[in-house]
């Protein structure tokens, strides 16, 4: 009985952490003025050509500065790593690589379409690629965690 209560409590904690992660992600993607999110400039910005913005950021990295390049390229990957870890951790059907990749892609597409419709940020196919890569890396991190945990005594 005690083990079952502990398991339920841990699951509730996982759900709470996932909800907090999604709330923070939502804030940074739609509302953080420090991230260039503003409702004052109401024009559509979009990129539909794969690798165009990645290439532009890389080619102009010295002029743009380390922080700007890192925030755009690595930030888009890092932001979705927790998503790729939480899904299989919380939901059994997401323990398949293809399912987690699909949901990472779908969430990223939803975010980009929402940014386009609300005219907050821009719709960028490169962001979808980088976010999905983050989901993949998160899934791989989850698999490494599971592999290590199984090798531990009592795991």
Task: Tell me if 15 is assigned to some domain.
Answer: no
Task: Tell me if 36 is assigned to some domain.
Answer: no
Q: Is the CB of residue 115 less than 8 Å from the CB of residue 38?
A: no
Which residue, 52, 31, 34, 25, is CA-closest to 129? Answer: 52
Task: Tell me if 76 is assigned to some domain.
Answer: yes
pLDDT tens per residue, range 8-21: 999 999 999 999 99
Structural domains of the chain, count: 1
pLDDT tens per residue, range 51-73: 999 999 999 999 999 999 998 89
Domain of residue 125 covers: 44-151
Task: Tell me if 49 is assigned to some domain.
Answer: yes
Task: Tell me if 132 is assigned to some domain.
Answer: yes
Task: Tell me if 96 is assigned to some domain.
Answer: yes
Task: Tell me if 127 is assigned to some domain.
Answer: yes
Q: Is the CB of residue 112 less than 8 Å from the CB of residue 123?
A: yes
Task: Tell me if 21 is assigned to some domain.
Answer: no
pTM of the model: 0.89
Strands 123-124 and 46-47, bridge-based pairing: parallel
């Amino acid at each position: 009985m005690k083990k079952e209560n502990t398991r339920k409590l841990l699951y509730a904690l996982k759900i709470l952490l996932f909800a907090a992660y999604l709330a923070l992600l939502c804030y940074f993607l739609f509302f953080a003025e420090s991230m260039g999110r503003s409702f004052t400039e109401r024009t559509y910005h979009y990129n539909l050509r794969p690798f165009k913005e990645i290439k532009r950021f890389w080619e102009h990295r010295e002029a743009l500065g380390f922080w700007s390049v890192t925030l755009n390229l690595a930030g888009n990957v890092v932001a979705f790593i927790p998503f790729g870890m939480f899904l299989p951790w919380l939901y059994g059907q997401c323990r398949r690589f293809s399912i987690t990749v699909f949901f990472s892609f779908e969430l990223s597409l939803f975010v980009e379409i929402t940014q386009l419709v609300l005219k907050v940020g821009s719709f960028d196919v490169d962001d979808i690629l980088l976010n999905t890569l983050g989901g993949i890396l998160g899934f791989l991190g989850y698999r490494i965690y599971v592999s290590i945990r199984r090798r531990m005594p009592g795991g």
